[in-house]
Amino acid sequence: MELLIAGAQRLRIHLKAEHISAFRVYQEELVAWNQKFNLTAITDDEGIQVRHFLDSISCLLGQEGEERFAGKTVIDVGTGAGFPGIPLKILCPGMRLTLVEATAKKVGFLKHIVTLLGLEGVDMLHQRAEEVGTATGHRECYDWALARAVADMPILAEYLLPLVKVGGRVLAQKGEGAPAEVQRGEWAVRQLGGHVRRLVPVELRGLAETRYLVILDKIATTPPQYPRRSGMPSKRPLQP
């Protein structure tokens, strides 16, 4: 876990012994399950520790003050094998986490790893984001909606903003093209009740490229026609 520990220190995130132990188990299980199921293309130790774990916990840099999602309701859309939600839950056990994943084999892994790590306050939804965004008990119910490498900003905004309550926030993890992508999606964000709050550049140990955390504020109720039915946001992204 040396790369994870060193990278976290660079981000000024302190990992306790129990955190490191949990990440070690997570890594071992991810590698073992990936031999049977295609959960992720990244299976080497360096890739898992940097591109999965470290990248996930870098979301804490998008927090203001010391709250670190404490006592917040958080939904992670398109979580895959649990990123960024589960690494954040390991560090922030007080959050209430909902994981959304449309692929059954990945949901099976999520259930396994959540049980194995003894994580409490975690729900899993085997659904598409568009379905969750229209469901009572999920629509405009969350303090934070997160996503990593899910879709272009105009599409992603339609997935995430309907889930967040007015006064809540969206955090999207993006690559080097984030500034241009956010500019391209700003109209859609406004239509869905959002406002671009800030972009936070993130430098990860072991990666040459700059990553970005895109933070959106939910300032108005999302119009009832959004999200559109499954598949429509990606086929016809919102644009002026």
Q: In what order do the strands lie in the sheet with 122-125?
A: 122-125, 96-100, 73-77, 142-148, 164-174, 211-218, 194-202
Hey, is 211 helix, strand or coil? strand
Query: Which tops the pLDDT comparison, 214 or 2?
Result: 214
Distance of alpha carbon 182 from alpha carbon 179, whole angstroms: 5
Q: What is the mean pLDDT of the chain?
A: 94
Residue 186 has pLDDT above 90, yes or no: yes
CB within 8 Å of 211: residues ≥ 6 apart:
55, 58, 173, 174, 175, 176, 201, 202, 203, 204
Distance of alpha carbon 87 from alpha carbon 229, whole angstroms: 31
Is the CB of residue 91 less than 8 Å from the CB of residue 122?
no
Q: pLDDT tens for residues 187-227?
A: 999 999 999 999 999 999 888 889 999 999 999 999 999 99
Question: What is the structure's pLDDT at 206?
Answer: 80
Q: Read off the pTM.
A: 0.95
Superfamily of domain 2-235: Vaccinia Virus protein VP39 (3.40.50.150)
Question: What is the structure's pLDDT at 45?
Answer: 86
Residue 137 has pLDDT above 60, yes or no: yes
Is the CB of residue 22 less than 8 Å from the CB of residue 117?
yes
Question: What is the structure's pLDDT at 207?
Answer: 84
Question: What is the structure's pLDDT at 67?
Answer: 64
Average pLDDT for residues 107-133, to the nearest whole number? 96
Question: What is the structure's pLDDT at 65?
Answer: 61
> Alpha-carbon Rg of the chain, whole angstroms?
17
Question: What is the structure's pLDDT at 66?
Answer: 56
- The full set of domain ranges for the chain reads 2-235
Place 9 in a pLDDT band, splitting at 50, 70 and 90: very high
Question: What is the structure's pLDDT at 167?
Answer: 96
**Joined tokens for residue 123:** 């729900």
Provide the strand spans (E) within the chain.
Answer: 73-77, 96-100, 122-125, 142-148, 164-174, 194-202, 211-218
Q: pLDDT tens for residues 63-119?
A: 876 567 889 999 999 999 999 999 999 999 999 999 999 999 999 999 999 999 999
Question: What is the structure's pLDDT at 35?
Answer: 87
Question: What is the structure's pLDDT at 89?
Answer: 97
Query: Which tops the pLDDT comparison, 58 or 40?
Result: 58
